[in-house]
Structure 1
Amino acid sequence: MQATHLCLRVGHLLPYSMSDSNTTDFTNPSTFILLGIPGLETFHVWISIPFCTMYTIAILGNLTILFIVKTEQSLHGPMYYFLCMLAISDLVLSTSTIPKMLSNFWFNSREIDFSVCLTQMYFIHCFSVMESGIFVALALDRYVAICDPLRHSTTLTNSVVAKIGLAVVLRAGILTLPYPFLVRQWPYCRTNIIPHSYCDHIAVVKLACADTQINSYYGLFVLFSVVGLDVPFITMSYIQILRAIFSLPTKDAQLKTFATCSSHLCCILSSYSPVFFSALVHRFGHKVPLPVLVLTANVYLLVPPLLHPIIYGMRTKQIRDRLLRFFTRKGT
């Protein structure tokens, strides 16, 4: 009885014709159908224009960061290694979802294999957690560089940076590994239509004909354990950084030192804000229209990968100077 109630409840989220056209019972669907942005199907082509533009800029921007750091010997340091990790994470996060989304918008290619859907879901959560860990690593780097500059090179050696990077990757990979297994274990009934533009964990779980509270609890556990550990650490680091900055003797020295970490603060805000909003609204915003929920989730995937290379390119002097030299040489 509970399973039937859940399936009927999900049916109300879908357009009437679609929810009624898939009434065959099945427990192991081979494919799911992604609706894109439910209720805005007629505008998919127009929505795809800013989405494609943002994705293209994000790809070019992050590849540029990787190219500059690789070719400029002076940038082979802890902060720039972590920036490369962030760029790779952004590339994987956006590429695992946006191309399929655009093919849906342009060619009405809505089917996605069940295993591919689970893989996409894992990549989304894994690299989101990884980005949070990278921000912790960047905060640590700035803390040592500003609060204890004389020991920066001896504290954050290449081996230490490699260990931090490995820890960030392992934490993300292990912590999000249960997601696809939890989703795969449930039976699915009546419909395989996902009212979303990609395989979001909660959107897929809502199609299951079972009590899936464990998925919701585990999702919240990952959200609050990751953010609950990372955000306080980042906050404490920047409190110490600001104290060190304000203790400098001149305003000019304070501004120059603050400029070295302002880009990190901007990127942290651009990443955590949509994560919090999307996750909490998706779980508790029952009265929020479905198109708004899906658009919010898309912002979470599109905006940070777009803004990160722009912010670091504009705010980090070494990257900006190297980029200007590259284009100047090209021009001559």
Structure 2
Amino acid sequence: MNTDASNGDRHNPDIWAASTLGKHPEELRLPHEYIQQGVPVFVAAPSRHSDREFDYPRKWPEISADLCRLDRWRPGLGLAVCAVTGVRFDVIDIDPRNGGDESFAGLRNAGLIPPVYGEVQTPSGGVHLYVARSNLGNCKPVPGIEVQAGDNNGRGRGMVFIPPTIRASKSDNTKKPYTASRNIDWIGLQEGSEHPDFQPWLEFLQRIKPVRRPVNRATGIIKKADEPITGLEDLTNCSLTEEERKQRYFEVVAIALVKEMLEAREGSRNNTLNALAFRLGSVAGLGMPVEQVAAALAAAALKTGLPAVEVAGTTESGLKAGLKHPMVWNHS
């Protein structure tokens, strides 16, 4: 792992001063720190193609931590700095535009949020929470939350933007920087998987279907992300009562669960049904009637080809498990 300044050459003060890191030590302080801690970091240039925002390096999930990769960075060119997840940490990516705050509150009140060892605020009002590695692939456990992770063999690795990246906010299109609101506790991260509060989070993730966003190993291009869940806009409508907001949230979640079941791949359908039934059970804490949605979920599972006996047993098991971790509504 090449984490020393240009791998020996930059021990020469003149070469170091001429390097990008030597010229911009403050702007690149955090990427420098990440790489020194063994985190692979790379620079991505704005893309000229309309189907993606940046052009990523070839085989970026396989890169190692190397300070030389920062030499591509220059201020004012719209370049992104990205860190690969699943090597030293996972990241809980909370998107408030799609119900992330509500989902996070439910997970927190259910005791499912692991210890957090660092935070980065995003341009769109979201937050990246740095947590210990799960050794699992990326997943979307609840609306508005995606877990960027990766296993020990490098499979399922994700990436997150880090300072000094500047991007347009998805809320108002204003360009804003990613900012570290809490410095990373590297020692805590290293020991985090042994923390007693980490185990419930790990067990929760093991029930969730991994996100399939393959990377073209030749070009480094990430498959376009799924469309964000829509219909949650009413949650911020002050003219609605609290019960109406809960109902709206429940309806959107229910539609998303059934849709995900119908799209489940062969070989993973039983696990998918179990995870979705678990999520349905967890939102029963909102006081919403889950029976009708459970029936629709089971019907969707039958359409995928699962046997009726298997569908009934898995749905019941998942619901019961989810009921033990009820989502607590904490929207304001």
TM range (shorter): under 0.3
| Length-normalised TM-score, structure 1 | 0.21
Higher relative contact order (CA 8 A, sep 6+): 1
TM-score under structure 2 length normalisation:
0.21
Please identify which structure carries the higher strand content.
2
Structure (1/2) with the larger helix percentage: 1
